[in-house]
Structure 1
Amino acid sequence: MVTPIDPTGVGFLLAENRSMPMHVGGLQLYRKPEGAGRNYARELYEHMSSTERIAPLFLRHPHRSTRTAGQLVWEQDEQFDIEHHVRHNALPKPGRVRELLELCSRLHSTRLAWERPLWEAHVIEGLRDGRMAIYTKVHHSLVDGVSATRLMASSLSPDPDKRGMQPPWGYREKPARDATDTAGVPLSALRTALGITAEAAGMPAALIKTLTKSVRNETSALSLYAPRTMLNQQITGSRRFAAQHWPIERIRGVGKAAGTTINDVVIAMCAGALRSYLLDFNELPDESLVAMVPIGLNAKKSQIPSAEGGNAVGSIMVKMGTEFADPADRLRAVQASMKDGKEALSSMTPMQILAMSAIGQAPAILTPMFRMQGIVRPPYNVVISNVPGPRTTQYFNGAQLVGSYPLSIPIHGMALNITCTSYDGLMCFGLIGCRRTVPHLQRLLTYLDDELKALEKAAGV
């Protein structure tokens, strides 16, 4: 069975190379059920690898030939081997979180082969505190961050006694729906090479206004240039992963006191952390760093990415206020920039947002493609995403999920990616960067903690 690949997915596939694997991942930490034996992880692995019926999303791989006129399409894998995709790992002693993050860094560095369905899952045991972990990765051509989170949530339950639960790749019956692609965008809107229809072309007023702001370096829904930093250069395929969580109540408290949103506070935390990090290397530019902040289209419209996969993501370009020494000034700069970006998108339809985002992404993709690093300025410095997850305690076959940390995609010119997932009262940060280009990445965790304390102090919390 052959199905079309949406234009965003094609872009992720074509942009991929050895230095830029284009998969997203997740690390979930679990506490074993009470009374679980020593072989619990092995038993869970066997359960997950014995799934009888696989969801179609997890059976397809990219293919192109003369039969498809050279176009990339999804083709079902006729030789699917689940043991290639579901694996069992054990950490070396002493089994600290450090060893776990090092393993995830290595796993996230390797590309997924196009000859097979583009996903892997690893059951990991050997943590000295008795917990176990599951690391998964799925190609970004299959899912965006929201879809990946929903896939994970679909295999969890608030019931600690529930057993026999399907992993994310297990087949599930779904309700009938209209003829749309997996991202929820009408197929008629995806028939051109860029997926931009007449509807998307009908945004000249919004585009002119946004371009004018961008030329003035007033970021909004689009950014044409940002200051060049050590983060904005060629990368290697080697990755380093760092993860930590903070109580959402602390972040919400700052937002409430400052009259802003949780997301604004998260970006301000990142701004302060990056300011401290770049100061360590005497690399802080005089101008503000610019963050690209993806937004799911469901944040604005009812067309939403589903648990079947797909990509439906727009973006806002945010000035992070890193030129300010005062954390309160940085938060105000982030708040103003986010507000301006949201207002720019409020007059656009989902397809127009996708078109605007494609324009914004073009410099980031074309610059490394034509080897223009150092010649042109980057359109933004870092990607910061915040993906909502389950709000209550969740379980998988009796194992309690105690932390969920995302791993995303660094690219040439953008060596660092920061993604957050909310879960059960926690904001879980996942930082992924090029091992060579972003040295001592773990320092950013300390600086994030310092910045949250500084924001609390500035807000009088």
Structure 2
Amino acid sequence: MRRLGGIDAAFLGMETHEVHAHVVAVSIYDPSTSPHDFDEDHAKRLLLSKLDKIPAFHRRLVNVPGSFTLPYWIDDPDFDIDAHVFSRQIEAPGGRMELTAALTDISERGLDRNRPQWELHVLTGLEGGRVAHALKMHHAAVDGATGVAITQTLNSLDPDDVEIGPPAIWPPDSVPSAWEMLRRGIGDTVGTARTLISVERDILGLLPRVVKAFIGSGPAPVRTVPRLSFNQAISPNRSLAYTHLDFAAVRGVSKATGTTINDVVLAICAIALRDWLTQRDELPDKSVIAGVPVSTRAATESTDSNQVTAVLAALPVHLDDPLEVLRLVAADMERQKKAIGEAPADLTEKIASLLPPIAVGIGAALVGLTRMNNFVPMPFNLGISNVPGSREPLYCTGALLVGQFGFGFFPHGAGLNITLDSHVDTFDISLMTCPDLVDNLWDLADALPAALTTLMEAVETLPAPQKAVPAKAVRAVEAPVSDKSGDAEVIVDAVSRPRKKQPVQTR
């Protein structure tokens, strides 16, 4: 048994009929180089062989009676792979509209709290014979680092690593009685009192350092959040879209301007949002605020629980100079990183662990029931996540991973999420919104590559020693965006090498 972290439990508590607190990671494969049939049976055999390496796949929840303290994970004694892996054929012609229609249906359905918090959907029928694995996991069981670790476990750097091992053996737990969980809950309450004292000490010691960090970076801007059409109470419905950027182009802008890749990504989002909001006739006269998750996990720490905090990034959509947008984004992020660096890495986790799950659940239900975000604003307009992936090609039993998208989630009042996954030489970008609030999400998806082109053209005006955007990257970004009904292929397969299918070897 293992107790959930405070952030993990908060993700469980905030989930309601309208707010789905799971994420969907989509991996698109070219199975032509694999000796296996990429079907549901293949996925089940692969996952069973890896279960001992992915604890989240065989853990389920056990609550403390009354939910007055954090729940626990146990290794499920009744684990059944058939309850977690499914398959479906998407509609013809298998382009990006048909793929996102299937993913939307998957995203709108919750997970069974009585089982481990994940599902894998094998989606066939994509153009070019490609197959997508849509892994849906509750955010209580996964964060960005955990997702990267799972991707590394299910894939290999070796294209010839095609064998699937026997089912893994892992020791299941017995289901604890209500009395045992009550006893644990009472004991945990004593620990919560100690945490409260620790949090108070951390905050009192932190305030002077944070103020000093902000003052040392210049005067802090007065920040208010504009009200936009997607900053309202949401429904259970979802709308998805995706696109991609050339990683070399993003890196070239970063080098040319002395900014980070994350700064460039946020500036691209700001430029695209400006064009999109102008099209929607709701461009504000101030910055749009993005909630940006930041990992607090040390490189040597376990990936068993969420270890994140967040910053509120100002995206100056009201400015039309792309280089000024990038400069302001970079300055704002530098200021906030200094402030975060002053805080204990586990402060957010400590604060979250003080919240009784029942209180979080009641609060989330009241927010949805009263629709209060129709008149009470959130501290941010949208969420933007940047998840670093492998810079080397990955293969799943010989099949090349050609695209990877992570569809996040959003709460009431902030009904738009953009997630960027870097993969080899590509940024794969996924977008999610509530269709009751936004009806043109694909327009925003198409605006993102155009925004990168705009930023690169601005970099070309800099003095020659500062320019470092590769010509190849410029050509890649200037390529036209595919038609909405076009190919589901997300990157050009320039790294795969054709290999004949070999018969599967049986043991």
Q: TM-score, normalised by structure 1?
A: 0.84
Q: 1:252 to 1:66 in 2, by over 3 A?
A: closer
Residue range with higher mean Cα deviation, 400-409 or 271-280? 271-280
Paired residues for 1:15-164 under 5 Å: 15-34=14-33, 39-42=37-40, 44-48=42-46, 51=49, 55-66=54-65, 71-164=70-163
Alpha-carbon separation, structure 2, partners of 1:115 and 1:236? 24
The structure, 1 or 2, with the larger RCO (C-alpha pairs under 8 Å, 6+ apart) is: 2
Shift of residue 193 of structure 1?
Answer: 7.9
Aligned partner letter, 2:339 = A
Aligned partner letter, 2:318 = E
Aligned partner letter, 2:440 = H
1:255-296 Cα distance to aligned partner (Å, 9 max, x none)? 111110111010011111111111112112111111111111
Shift of residue 33 of structure 1?
Answer: 3.4
Alpha-carbon separation, structure 2, partners of 1:368 and 1:224? 24
Aligned partner letter, 1:6 = G
The aligned residue for residue 413 of structure 1 is 413
Among 332, 335, 339, the alignment partner of 1:340 is: 335
The aligned residue for residue 375 of structure 2 is 375
Partner-residue secondary structure (3-state), 2:346: helix
Shift of residue 206 of structure 1?
Answer: 3.8
Partner-residue secondary structure (3-state), 1:452: helix
Q: 1:287 to 1:152 in 2, by over 3 A?
A: same
Alpha-carbon separation, structure 1, partners of 2:262 and 2:163? 36
Shift of residue 172 of structure 1?
Answer: 8.6
Q: 1:67 to 1:45 in 2, by over 3 A?
A: same
Listed as ranges, the gaps of 5+ residues in structure 1 are 174-187
| Equivalent residues of 1:227, 1:378 under 8 A apart | no
Aligned partner letter, 1:117 = P
| Equivalent residues of 2:44, 2:85 under 8 A apart | no
Shift of residue 374 of structure 1?
Answer: 3.9
Partner-residue secondary structure (3-state), 2:372: coil
Alpha-carbon separation, structure 2, partners of 1:154 and 1:19? 32
Aligned partner letter, 1:457 = E
Paired residues for 1:19-418 under 5 Å: 19-34=18-33, 39-42=37-40, 44-48=42-46, 51=49, 55-66=54-65, 71-165=70-164, 191-192=191-192, 198=198, 201-204=201-204, 206-207=206-207, 218=220, 225-298=224-297, 301-302=298-299, 304-306=301-303, 309-352=304-347, 354=349, 368=367, 371-418=371-418
1:99-122 Cα distance to aligned partner (Å, 9 max, x none)? 111101110111111111110001
The aligned residue for residue 499 of structure 2 is none
Alpha-carbon separation, structure 2, partners of 1:379 and 1:208? 23
Q: 1:269 to 1:143 in 2, by over 3 A?
A: same
Q: 1:237 to 1:263 in 2, by over 3 A?
A: same
Partner-residue secondary structure (3-state), 2:254: helix
Alpha-carbon separation, structure 1, partners of 2:409 and 2:64? 28
Residue range with higher mean Cα deviation, 195-204 or 110-119? 195-204
Alpha-carbon separation, structure 2, partners of 1:190 and 1:253? 53
Alpha-carbon separation, structure 2, partners of 1:195 and 1:57? 26
The aligned residue for residue 434 of structure 2 is 434
Partner-residue secondary structure (3-state), 1:33: helix
1:166-207 Cα distance to aligned partner (Å, 9 max, x none)? 79x96799xxxxxxxxxxxxxx99942896661663233543
Q: Does 1:456 align with 2:456?
A: yes
Shift of residue 354 of structure 1?
Answer: 4.5
| Equivalent residues of 1:232, 1:413 under 8 A apart | yes
| Equivalent residues of 1:189, 1:197 under 8 A apart | no
| Equivalent residues of 1:415, 1:434 under 8 A apart | yes
Shift of residue 358 of structure 1?
Answer: 9.6
Partner-residue secondary structure (3-state), 2:228: coil
Q: 1:204 to 1:50 in 2, by over 3 A?
A: closer
Q: 1:26 to 1:170 in 2, by over 3 A?
A: farther
Shift of residue 59 of structure 1?
Answer: 2.2
Q: 1:35 to 1:417 in 2, by over 3 A?
A: closer
Alpha-carbon separation, structure 2, partners of 1:68 and 1:382? 30
1:307-366 Cα distance to aligned partner (Å, 9 max, x none)? xx310002221111111111111111111110100111122221235568999xx9x979
Q: 1:415 to 1:131 in 2, by over 3 A?
A: same
Q: Does 1:8 align with 2:7?
A: yes
The aligned residue for residue 489 of structure 2 is none
1:52-94 Cα distance to aligned partner (Å, 9 max, x none)? 8555422222232539767532244332221110112211222
RMSD: 3.5
Aligned partner letter, 2:255 = K
| Equivalent residues of 2:156, 2:396 under 8 A apart | yes
Q: TM-score, normalised by structure 2?
A: 0.77
Q: Of Structure 1 and Structure 2, which has the larger fraction of its residues in helix?
A: 2
The aligned residue for residue 180 of structure 1 is none
Partner-residue secondary structure (3-state), 1:340: helix
Q: 1:81 to 1:398 in 2, by over 3 A?
A: same
Alpha-carbon separation, structure 2, partners of 1:70 and 1:226? 33
Alpha-carbon separation, structure 2, partners of 1:197 and 1:305? 26
Alpha-carbon separation, structure 1, partners of 2:223 and 2:191? 28
The total of aligned residue pairs comes to: 434
Q: Matched residues, percent identical? A: 30
Q: 1:452 to 1:52 in 2, by over 3 A?
A: closer
| Equivalent residues of 1:293, 1:383 under 8 A apart | yes
Alpha-carbon separation, structure 1, partners of 2:280 and 2:203? 43
Alpha-carbon separation, structure 1, partners of 2:400 and 2:189? 42
Aligned partner letter, 1:47 = R
Residue range with higher mean Cα deviation, 257-266 or 79-88? 79-88
Alpha-carbon separation, structure 1, partners of 2:397 and 2:191? 42
Larger radius of gyration: 2
Shift of residue 303 of structure 1?
Answer: 5.9
Alpha-carbon separation, structure 2, partners of 1:14 and 1:328? 41
Alpha-carbon separation, structure 1, partners of 2:89 and 2:46? 16
Alpha-carbon separation, structure 2, partners of 1:402 and 1:52? 22
The aligned residue for residue 179 of structure 2 is none
Q: 1:446 to 1:201 in 2, by over 3 A?
A: same
Shift of residue 9 of structure 1?
Answer: 1.2
| Equivalent residues of 2:233, 2:371 under 8 A apart | no
